[in-house]
Amino acid sequence: MNFLNESNFKCAKVHNRKDNQLCGSIQNKPAAIIEKLSGSSISNVNENQCAEVGGLLANFHILGDGFEDYLKDSRDLRWRKDAYTKLKKVLLPDEKKLIEDALVVQQEFNDFALPKGIIHADLFRDNILFDSGKISGMIDFYYSCRVRLSMILHLVANDWCIDTHGKIVTEKLGKAKGIILIDKRIKY
């Protein structure tokens, strides 16, 4: 986060502790001192706000090109296959088929030589803060990792374009387009 913050990216700064370290632990859990950003998440975003998110996302990808200390994807295809193996004994047959079919498609997708970069792999609406209708910051970088840049398409469609029942709303896809197309530098 400090790499981004020092580049004037809209995110919080992690402060050094007294021992000059950024991270430590409290009761055996990771802990850090992170400044609080103004604003809050909003559930109903308009197209202008989506375009602003697209600009922020483009800036994130561009700055990410210069960041060497990135995390590996902790939810990669191997993890998803292992998770399915653990869960399948409690799934119904149609649920198993749905997941198995999805894993086949994901394996095919995994074999494509698509451009990679660092993405905010948790870019849900609750991780973009707005203050007076404008973005005040991006938060929750825990799952940021280097993967195929096209993954951001899935993340955006799965949160920014759904109704209260989790169904993709075709009319909201224009909002996703506003987020994605801002970053023309990236070939998804």
What contacts 93, CB < 8 A, 6 or more positions away? none
Exposure class string for 22-61: b at 16+ Cβ within 10 A, else e: eeeeeeeeeebeeeebebeeeeebeeebbbbbbebbbbbb
Instruction: Please provide the average confidence, as pLDDT, over all residues in the chain.
Output: 85
Residue 153 belongs to a domain: yes
Residue 160 belongs to a domain: yes
The residue type found at 46 is: N
Query: 14-18, 36-40, 102-106, 177-181 — which is least confidently predicted?
Result: 177-181
**If we measure between CA atoms, which residue out of 63, 15, 37 comes closest to residue 128?**
37
Average pLDDT score over residue span 123-141: 93
Residue 136 belongs to a domain: yes
The number of angstroms, rounded, from the C-alpha of 32 to the middle of its chain's C-alpha atoms is 21
The answer to whether the CB of 149 falls within 8 A of the CB of 115 is yes
Average pLDDT score over residue span 166-180: 70
Enclosing domain of residue 102? 41-180
d(CA 84, CA 67): 33
Residue 103 belongs to a domain: yes
Residue 70 belongs to a domain: yes
pLDDT at 177: 67
Residue 33 belongs to a domain: no
| 84-96 pLDDT, tens digit each | 999 999 999 999 9
What total of structural domains would you count in the chain? Answer: 1
Average pLDDT score over residue span 138-154: 85
Query: 42-46, 91-95, 151-155, 177-181 — which is least confidently predicted?
Result: 177-181
Query: 50-54, 70-74, 77-81 — which is least confidently predicted?
Result: 70-74
Residue 119 belongs to a domain: yes
Q: DSSP characters for 48-80?
A: HHHHHHHHHHHHHHHHHTT---PPP-TT-HHHH
Tokens describing residue 37: 């950003």
**If we measure between CA atoms, which residue out of 119, 114, 115 comes closest to residue 67?**
119
Domain CATH for 86: 3.90.1200.10
For residue 148, the SS3 value is: strand
Task: Please state the pTM of the whole predicted model.
Answer: 0.78
Residue 13 belongs to a domain: no
Answer yes or no: is pLDDT of 104 > 90.
yes
Q: How confident is the model at residue 49 (pLDDT cuts 50, 70, 90)?
A: confident
d(CA 119, CA 175): 19
